[in-house]
Amino acid sequence: MEQIRLKRGLDIPLKGEAETKVGKTIVPETVAVKPADFRGVVPKMLVKAGDRVKAGTIVFKDKLRPEIGFSSPCSGTVESIVRGERRRILEVRIKADPVTEYLSFPIPNMRDAKRNDIIKILLDSGLWAALIQRPFGIIANPADTPKGIFISGFDSAPLAADVNFTMRDEQDSLQEGVNVLSKLTGGSIYVSLSAKDYAASPLYKLKNVKQYCFSGAHPAGNVGIQINHISPIAKGETAWTITPAGVAAIGKLFTKGIYDISRLFAIAGPRSEHPCYVKAVPGFCLKQISEYISETDCKIYGQPVGIRCISGNVLTGSNIGAEGYTGFYDNEVSFVSEGNYNELFGWAKIFRPKKFSMSHSYFSWLCPKRKYNADTNVNGGERAFVMSGLYEKVVPMDIYPVYLIKAILAEDIDKMEQLGIYEVLEEDFALCEYICPSKINVQDIISRGISLMMKEMA
């Protein structure tokens, strides 16, 4: 196995890591399927309030690519279709049955199955949405043949779910999923593992894959970083990515004939109570894990602060509120304190033992094993873009991040192509936003750049 050592990046030491035990299995009361989870999708509803659905029933399709559908993860009755401004569809809420009833899909003989047969089943079941295309991070085009399919076997984000634990019982499903995926590409299936504990990973035992071992700080676990070091994406090329949970779901589809996307979710964060794992389907409501949210009144510098509930990790997740619904691709729920407080002379203080810093501005570098109770306070407002050279220290890719961001701001398409827009997503620049002395919303800029490129390439 080839080992790749990354020298750039940053691990953020937060409190609240999930203990490797399953706290409970959630029987969902209400589940939401959210079109916003899927970049570039314009939903066309196939159900209405009051309709009965099973797990695997398509509830809406993409208007731009009607062959791609999105399924209900449970059986039940469509409770409501939540709309926002200009009647934009925000959520399809389904009141779940106590016992899930699955739609049955035909299982082909894998020896005789052709590529088109596999694609049809994935499209009919709604599991095609698990395949993400690079560039742009959109759902893969069934008409394309990627140069390879990439799977990250570990997550290096702060307090991320332990893939070795979440996939420990999915060995057979993972192997079947890999066998299916191998028929979709003319290239290879690439699996990246952590150098710390690769031998303990269920993905280490997979056959018919090419394995790579990565060492280094976050974002070593980001699949985009791994692609950059294994097989960079050039203009005109496409690569597909999929999470281990997505691979396991495809394996279950082709062995059991059902749409089963249940997975283990990590409950983590400084404001989590007894952080652990829960088994659930994506789209469950956070009201059902309210016992894991710390109810202790929290004050910072004498000022009461609330709790931010995040679907995903603290760097790239979505703020969904205490009664929100988790995202399709997420396997973590994070609870952190809101940073809605003011710190008197905070910028002028020399000794701040409760603050973590990448530099030697504070004394956190003297306590490398300490965990911090971080919050969402950005410690200042947006200001002029400073050429500090910090971004390059946390982006382990062969690109110039500052120049790419400036090309996006200038809407210079040619420069964006030359500087690597095809290889990046927002998550690859999350650390840039975290350490930015100018408080620039870097991920938002990258998102705008991707949207601009998609519009130009249409």
For 142-163, how does the pLDDT look when each residue is reduced to its tens digit (9 = 90+)? 999 999 999 999 999 999 999 9
Average pLDDT over residues 433-443: 93
307 has a pLDDT exceeding 80:
yes
CA distance 413 to 13: 37
pLDDT of residue 348: 65
Identify the band that residue 78 occupies on the pLDDT scale cut at 50, 70 and 90: very high
Average pLDDT over residues 295-302: 73
Under 8 Å between Cβ of 390 and 435: yes
pLDDT of residue 350: 67
| CB-facing half-sphere around the CA of 158: CA atoms within 13 A | 27
CA distance 324 to 37: 13
Share above pLDDT 70 across residues of the chain, in percent, rounded to a whole number: 98
Edge-to-edge strands, sheet with 277-280: 22-25, 277-280, 263-268, 332-337, 307-311, 318-319
Question: pLDDT (tens digit, 9 = 90+) per residue, 348-388?
Answer: 666 777 788 888 777 777 788 899 998 998 888 888 888 78
Which domains does the chain carry?
Answer: 263-366 (3.10.20), 391-457 (no CATH)
Average pLDDT over residues 125-148: 97
Q: Which two tokens stand for residue 144?
A: 């394309």
pLDDT of residue 346: 67
Cite the beta strand spans of 233-378 per DSSP E. Answer: 239-241, 263-268, 277-280, 299-300, 303-304, 307-311, 318-319, 332-337
Give the burial class of 48: count Cβ atoms within 10 A of its Cβ; 0-12 exposed, 13-18 middle, 19 or more buried: exposed
Q: What value does the mean pLDDT of the chain take?
A: 94
Four-residue CA torsion sign, 51, 55, 57, 61: positive
354, containing H or E segment: none
The full length of the chain comes to 458
CA distance 334 to 318: 10
295 has a pLDDT exceeding 70:
yes
pLDDT of residue 290: 94
Question: pLDDT (tens digit, 9 = 90+) per residue, 195-219?
Answer: 999 999 999 999 999 999 999 999 9
Q: Which two tokens stand for residue 123?
A: 């499209």
Question: pLDDT (tens digit, 9 = 90+) per residue, 59-76?
Answer: 999 999 999 999 999 999
